[in-house]
Amino acid sequence: MAHFEEVCKQSDLHPKPAGLVLQYGTAGFRTSANKLDHIMFRMGLLATLRSKKTKATIGVMVTASHNPEEDNGVKLIDPMGEMLTSSWEDYATQLANTEQNELLKTLKDIIEKEAIDMSQEANVYVGKDTRRSSASLSQAVLDGVKALGGHCKDYGLVTTPQLHYMVCCQNTQGKYGEATVEGYYHKLSQAFSQLAKNASNRTDDQKHLSVDGANGIGAIKVREMESHLRKHMQLSVFNDGSRGKLNHQCGADFVKVQQKLPTGIKINPGDRCCSFDGDADRIVYYYTDSQGDFHLLDGDKIATLISTFLKELLNEAGLDLKIAVVQTAYANGSSTHYLENTMKVIVKCTKTGVKHLHHAAQEFDIGVYFEANGHGTVLFSDGAEEKIQQLASDTNTNDERKKAAFLLQNTINIINQTVGDAISDMLLIEAILAIKGMSVQHWDAIYSDLPNRQLKVKVSDRRVIDTTDAERRAVTPAGLQEAIDDLVKKYEKARSFVRPSGTEDVVRVYAEADTQESADALAHEVSLAVY
């Protein structure tokens, strides 16, 4: 009872602007920071309920990822470090939109519907990115947790994937690692050193990587980690937040969308570079050639590199494990073709949004998932992990098989299986390139991307577009898909689709074809068909 009084009292300090309606979308709540105080407080309440319900620690991350500095957002993290389950997304939306005087009623409705035992303890882990607004907004989350009598641990400035990792470590009683930032560095850097031992002698040049930290949390964290990696890696960190603005003309999203170098980075032709996004859960690689042309290695290229490496190791280890790559409709057609026809791995396509890819990847012994935008990771089933551990510790195994098992073991340890993680992905990619003695140019040459174009179209109501087949075909409005099919037929190696954005009030158009001119023309024609 006392808690409900406290909720009312505290809630008055975090009032909801009357009439404001927000929705918990694919990436949680995300909008201008000045509209979010009440949302944060209420998400503190919801996380506490979720913790009581699951009898586990829940995470709350305050970030708006690659959005401008002025925005902010919040996401809840479920017990195994995964995204909040969809059935609770509705509660998040209800709580967010209920007017001030109805808050208690809405809260009690959720408690009743979920039959939550309010005497159960609650534990919530809270983290935030470097936005100016994040400090007071994360305080509002803490206020929400405390108002309902929950315990909280404030991790302060962490990357989104670090917080996912902490939640998973805590709820698996340390089996996944120690729930501290230091524990995270230790686990990943140990695995990296073990993998790097298998690289032939590398020059300092080969060990060098330029990192664009998007002027965000990733820059701070990769710097913190640097001392653990020194022997095996030489990092130059640009856009570390000391001068530039968060995500402004830099970061993974900028580089992927603009297909050009971020500002604030000084590199020579051929240098290997990568960009993180604002909360360091995405990464893309790139380099410029001697003509000054820009070459992007996006999530599709990353998925190809990682899955090739894993498949080779499975062969060497003689392990019969089913490996698949999960992509979205945005995956470049060349990557899908290469994976299916040359690599001969299973390729699955899901709807956009990390949770969809994550779930699809869980269906395989080893599921590699990446969005083209650079968000991704690898999931190993319990059975697959067991087989790999067994082989690594089997005294009768021959040297080659044992070595492969040992590499697989350390690959498992370097990967953050809870969610895409720019730092962990970076370490894995660096390790693979080192072990294979591969340059970024060799990696790029595995296949050539089909020229492509993405456009945004503003329409009066984007919800009139409904899609099927993992967003590759439009079912409504009537006639749209037929129009797209007719346009696609005019071009070679062409493909195009439209989908309503989950994060902006626009319709997105994607087109690819044999030449850039054709891809541009097709995208333009399809965008006209959307009106």
Looking at residue 157, its amino acid is: L
Q: What is the DSSP letter of 25?
A: B
Nearer to ligand 16G, 128 or 375 (CB): 375
Does 162 engage in binding with ligand 16G (CB under 6 A)?
no
Shortest CA distance to 255 belongs to which of 214, 220, 215, 290? Answer: 214
Find out whether 373 is annotated in a ligand binding site. yes
Nearer to Zn ion, 103 or 252 (CB): 252
Q: Which does 277 bind (CB under 5 to 8 A by kind): Zn ion, ligand 16G, none?
A: Zn ion
Rounded CA separation 244/487 (Å) = 43
Rounded CA separation 27/75 (Å) = 7
Site for ligand 16G in 27-66 (CB under 6 A): 27
Does 164 engage in binding with ligand 16G (CB under 6 A)?
no
Q: Which helix (H) or strand (E) holds 283?
A: strand 283-288
Q: Which residues contact residue 21 at a Cβ distance below 8 angstroms, ignoring those fewer than 6 apart?
A: 97
Please list the active-site residues. Answer: 65
Does 502 engage in binding with ligand 16G (CB under 6 A)?
yes
Among 23, 26, 31, 198, binds ligand 16G (CB under 6 A): 26
Nearer to ligand 16G, 38 or 375 (CB): 375
Q: How far is CA 295 from CA 3, 306, 330, 448, in A?
A: 56, 19, 18, 10
Give the range of 47-55, 197-205, 368-376, 482-490 binding ligand 16G by CB under 6 A. 368-376
Q: Which does 373 bind (CB under 5 to 8 A by kind): ligand 16G, Zn ion, none?
A: ligand 16G
Q: Which two tokens stand for residue 243?
A: 């001068």
Question: Per-residue x/- mask for Zn ion, residues 267 to 286, rule CB under 5 A?
Answer: ----------x-x-x-----
DSSP 3-state assignment of 266? Answer: coil
Q: Which does 354 bind (CB under 5 to 8 A by kind): Zn ion, ligand 16G, none?
A: ligand 16G
Residues in the chain: 531
Find out whether 503 is annotated in a ligand binding site. yes
| 3-state per-residue secondary structure call for 320-364 | CCCEEEEEECCCCHHHHHHHHHHCCCEEEEECCCHHHHHHHHCCC
Whether the Cβ atoms of residue 216 and residue 250 lie closer than 8 Å to each other: no
Find out whether 101 is annotated in a ligand binding site. no
Nearer to Zn ion, 91 or 276 (CB): 276
Find out whether 500 is annotated in a ligand binding site. yes
DSSP 3-state assignment of 121? Answer: coil
Nearer to Zn ion, 68 or 149 (CB): 68
Among 155, 339, 508, 523, binds ligand 16G (CB under 6 A): 508
Rounded CA separation 394/405 (Å) = 10
Does 354 engage in binding with ligand 16G (CB under 6 A)?
yes
Nearer to ligand 16G, 172 or 503 (CB): 503
Find out whether 508 is annotated in a ligand binding site. yes
CB atoms within 10 A of CB 390: 12
Q: How far is CA 136 from CA 28, 33, 306, in A?
A: 18, 10, 39
Residue 237 Cβ, how far from Zn ion at the closest point, in Å? 18
Q: How far is CA 424 from CA 66, 159, 338, 417, 459, in A?
A: 18, 11, 25, 10, 39
Q: Which does 27 bind (CB under 5 to 8 A by kind): Zn ion, ligand 16G, none?
A: ligand 16G
Residue 164 Cβ, how far from Zn ion at the closest point, in Å? 12
Q: Which residues contact residue 12 at a Cβ distance below 8 angstroms, ignoring those fewer than 6 apart?
A: 100
Shortest CA distance to 284 belongs to which of 314, 260, 315, 316? Answer: 260
Among 375, 462, 472, 495, binds ligand 16G (CB under 6 A): 375
DSSP labels for 87-101?
HHHHHHHHHHHS-GG
Q: Which does 279 bind (CB under 5 to 8 A by kind): Zn ion, ligand 16G, none?
A: Zn ion
Site for Zn ion in 364-423 (CB under 5 A): none
Does 503 engage in binding with ligand 16G (CB under 6 A)?
yes
Find out whether 501 is annotated in a ligand binding site. yes
Size of interface with ligand 16G, in residues (CB under 6 A): 13
Does 373 engage in binding with ligand 16G (CB under 6 A)?
yes
Among 71, 78, 82, 371, binds ligand 16G (CB under 6 A): 371
Whether the Cβ atoms of residue 284 and residue 221 lie closer than 8 Å to each other: no
Question: Per-residue x/- mask for Zn ion, residues 56 to 75, rule CB under 5 A?
Answer: ---------x----------
Residue 211 Cβ, how far from ligand 16G at the closest point, in Å? 21
Nearer to Zn ion, 65 or 327 (CB): 65
Residue 17: asked if its preceding bond is cis (omega within 30°), the reply is no
| Chain residues in the site for ligand 16G (CB under 6 A) | 26-27, 352-354, 371, 373, 375, 501-504, 508
Annotation: binding site for Mg(2+): 65, 277, 279, 281
Annotation: binding site for substrate: 371-373, 499-503, 508
Annotation: binding site: 65, 277, 279, 281, 371-373, 499-503, 508
| Chain residues in the site for Zn ion (CB under 5 A) | 65, 277, 279, 281
